[in-house]
Chain A
């Protein structure tokens, strides 16, 4: 009986020891008899815990290995659509070969779209009842997009949507949902970054405009979200703020990549853009390289993409002063995104007939900011939200 008590007591103490609970000593002090009995066990346990540290993975192991695992997952997803298996469809084993999964997905998509569920789901936020429908629809869109370029476009659109959801949820004081959306934004942007790095230079040029427009819109959303978070009194402020910072790092990473690519395009290549991209509007260019003289492009080289993976410049190379327009919410405004093909300015009063990021996507009924930002976003994202009264930080 005594040994049984000791075993239970040891287990209780071990839970605290493994979790690094500060109340361990006081628990031991309350049971001097049992403590004496389990002393040798505790010595061995402490030794084990100390030595467990030497088995810890390298600092960035989790992140880097996840990138590898995800790349394999994505390639398997393309082939096998494992998420459809949840519907009980063993697609790989059915006759029909490679095309069958696409046909089934297409049928599901048509059925869902036709029934209006997908349209209803567009205005949902994380944890809303139809939110999973929205996400499934996006997954289906990704699956049905065959080209790498098209998939990157879809991912950019999805990332912008997540950021919009994060802002919308924050405005409605749904901070947990805002955080969920921000986390999704991080993963989607990460996936986009990976996908963009796999594109050939020609492919990248095809979607450069689209990605730049997405980033431009994201910059204004970050600005508005930062202001909303700074004004919140949520108990989860710290956590949300950290996620916001992480999301900004993802944004800056993408932005740096795009900027590098833009700066390495030779003039003649810019002229051929119109041949490659139907949406391309030659002048004026939204994202000029801030320092063209620093371009690493070597015309003699057969591969102008000398540094596809950029450093992570947290500061703009060419500071342009106050780049953050004051946040002025409009009671009845809707998202006025950059129209397709118009890469220069965002209209302030006339909403775009076709928001570039999604034809079917309509913002929710809540108050949304006027994305009347500077026409030429610079390479610095919003500063971290702080509890200071200033809601619109300057660059």
Chain B
């Protein structure tokens, strides 16, 4: 997902604006998995992530008449919607924005437990120890697979600021992981 895809997106958006649902379907195919990963990392529940992903794209469809690129990439626009949807989700359900491991364990279903459960738990534990803006940069870059420029647009910062942020975020994460694995060894 890079700026190279922007012309294709623009073409599909143009068609979707004319009411072509299949063009929007192609946009869905391009971005649904990335949006899902980002939302899943935030809400911690597969079912919630699925529902939210669908809601985000429905909102994107409804927003099409108002969307004008003007240098704002469509991927960034979608992730901005995703960000707002997650905030709304927590506001609505009055849940903690960051789930800790214990809560995950009580909520986990057997299927989730078998399928990458421990990795997800590790991921949540590690990311929850980062400052919020560091966490967001890493989630957008690694789970949303956005470029620095796209991440900058979502977060309303410059690309340079995002580079600095990701540099520091990864350094912090490395320290967190070192502590985590050293404790695990003991």
Confirm or deny: B122 has a beta carbon within 8 angstroms of a beta carbon on chain A. Answer: yes
Instruction: Give the residue name and chain of the B residue nearest to A3 (CB).
Output: B167
Contacts of B46 in A (CB 8 A): 58
Q: Which of B30-38, B74-82, B87-95, B96-104 is near enough to bind chain A?
A: B30-38
Instruction: Give the residue name and chain of the A residue nearest to B39 (CB).
Output: A55
Contacts of A85 in B (CB 8 A): 65
Instruction: Report A80-125 residues with CB < 8 Å from chain B CB.
Output: 81-86
Known contacts A11-B166, A69-B28; A44/B65 CB under 8 A: no
Question: How many whole Å from B34's CB to the nearest CB in chain A?
Answer: 10
Q: Which of B17, B141, B164 counts the most A-chain CB atoms under 10 A from its CB?
A: B141
In which size bucket is the chain A interface? 35 or more
Confirm or deny: A43 has a beta carbon within 8 angstroms of a beta carbon on chain B. Answer: yes
Q: Tell me which of B57, B141, B164, B174 contacts A40 (CB under 8 A).
A: B174
Contacts of A7 in B (CB 8 A): 163-164, 166-167
Contact, CB under 8 Å: B58 / A51:
no
Contact, CB under 8 Å: A44 / B33:
no
Contact, CB under 8 Å: B142 / A48:
yes
Give a binary string over B12-55; 1 marks a CB under 8 Å from any A CB, 0 the rest: 00010111111011101100110011001100001001100110
Instruction: Give the residue name and chain of the B residue nearest to A87 (CB).
Output: B65
Contact, CB under 8 Å: A135 / B173:
no
Expressed in whole angstroms, the Cα–Cα distance for A15 and B145 within the complex equals 9
Contact, CB under 8 Å: B170 / A69:
no
Confirm or deny: A302 has a beta carbon within 8 angstroms of a beta carbon on chain B. Answer: no
Contacts of B41 in A (CB 8 A): 55
Contacts of B25 in A (CB 8 A): 66, 70, 187
Contact, CB under 8 Å: A48 / B65:
no
Question: How many whole Å from B77's CB to the nearest CB in chain A?
Answer: 17
Expressed in whole angstroms, the Cα–Cα distance for A69 and B22 within the complex equals 11
Confirm or deny: B6 has a beta carbon within 8 angstroms of a beta carbon on chain A. Answer: no
Expressed in whole angstroms, the Cα–Cα distance for A234 and B113 within the complex equals 48
Contact, CB under 8 Å: A135 / B20:
yes
Question: How many whole Å from B138's CB to the nearest CB in chain A?
Answer: 6
Contact, CB under 8 Å: A54 / B22:
no
Expressed in whole angstroms, the Cα–Cα distance for A43 and B174 within the complex equals 7
Expressed in whole angstroms, the Cα–Cα distance for A41 and B166 within the complex equals 9
Contact, CB under 8 Å: B116 / A53:
yes
Give a binary string over A28-60; 1 marks a CB under 8 Å from any B CB, 0 the rest: 000000000000111111011101111111100
Confirm or deny: A238 has a beta carbon within 8 angstroms of a beta carbon on chain B. Answer: no
Contact, CB under 8 Å: B18 / A18:
no
Question: How many whole Å from A323's CB to the nearest CB in chain B?
Answer: 30
Contact, CB under 8 Å: B19 / A83:
yes
Expressed in whole angstroms, the Cα–Cα distance for A61 and B26 within the complex equals 14
Contact, CB under 8 Å: B32 / A57:
yes
In which size bucket is the chain B interface? 35 or more
Expressed in whole angstroms, the Cα–Cα distance for A54 and B50 within the complex equals 15
Expressed in whole angstroms, the Cα–Cα distance for A81 and B19 within the complex equals 8
Expressed in whole angstroms, the Cα–Cα distance for A189 and B32 within the complex equals 21
Q: Tell me which of B18, B26, B163 contacts A86 (CB under 8 A).
A: B18
Expressed in whole angstroms, the Cα–Cα distance for A86 and B15 within the complex equals 11
Known contacts A69-B58, A83-B19; A18/B32 CB under 8 A: no
Contacts of B36 in A (CB 8 A): 55, 57, 61
Question: How many whole Å from A75's CB to the nearest CB in chain B?
Answer: 11
Confirm or deny: B129 has a beta carbon within 8 angstroms of a beta carbon on chain A. Answer: no
Question: How many whole Å from A333's CB to the nearest CB in chain B?
Answer: 30
Q: Tell me which of B2, B32, B123, B171 contacts A54 (CB under 8 A).
A: B123
Contact, CB under 8 Å: B32 / A66:
yes
Contact, CB under 8 Å: B142 / A86:
no
Contact, CB under 8 Å: B17 / A18:
no
Contact, CB under 8 Å: B18 / A139:
yes
Expressed in whole angstroms, the Cα–Cα distance for A85 and B63 within the complex equals 10
Q: Tell me which of A8, A18, A84, A188 contacts B22 (CB under 8 A).
A: A188
Contacts of A81 in B (CB 8 A): 19
Question: How many whole Å from B25's CB to the nearest CB in chain A?
Answer: 6
Question: How many whole Å from B8's CB to the nearest CB in chain A?
Answer: 12
Confirm or deny: B133 has a beta carbon within 8 angstroms of a beta carbon on chain A. Answer: no
Contacts of A183 in B (CB 8 A): 22, 26
The 7 A-B pairs with the shortest beta carbon distances in the complex, nearest first, are A83-B19, A187-B22, A54-B116, A85-B65, A54-B119, A41-B170, A44-B174
25 contacts between A and B (CB under 8 A): A10-B166, A11-B163, A40-B171, A42-B170, A43-B177, A44-B170, A44-B173, A48-B123, A48-B138, A48-B173, A53-B116, A55-B40, A55-B143, A57-B37, A57-B53, A62-B28, A62-B29, A69-B58, A73-B21, A73-B24, A73-B61, A76-B61, A82-B62, A82-B64, A135-B20
Contacts A18-B142, A72-B58 supplied; 15 other A-B pairs, CB < 8 Å:
A7-B167, A10-B166, A14-B141, A48-B173, A49-B142, A62-B29, A66-B28, A69-B54, A69-B61, A82-B61, A83-B17, A86-B18, A132-B18, A135-B18, A184-B22
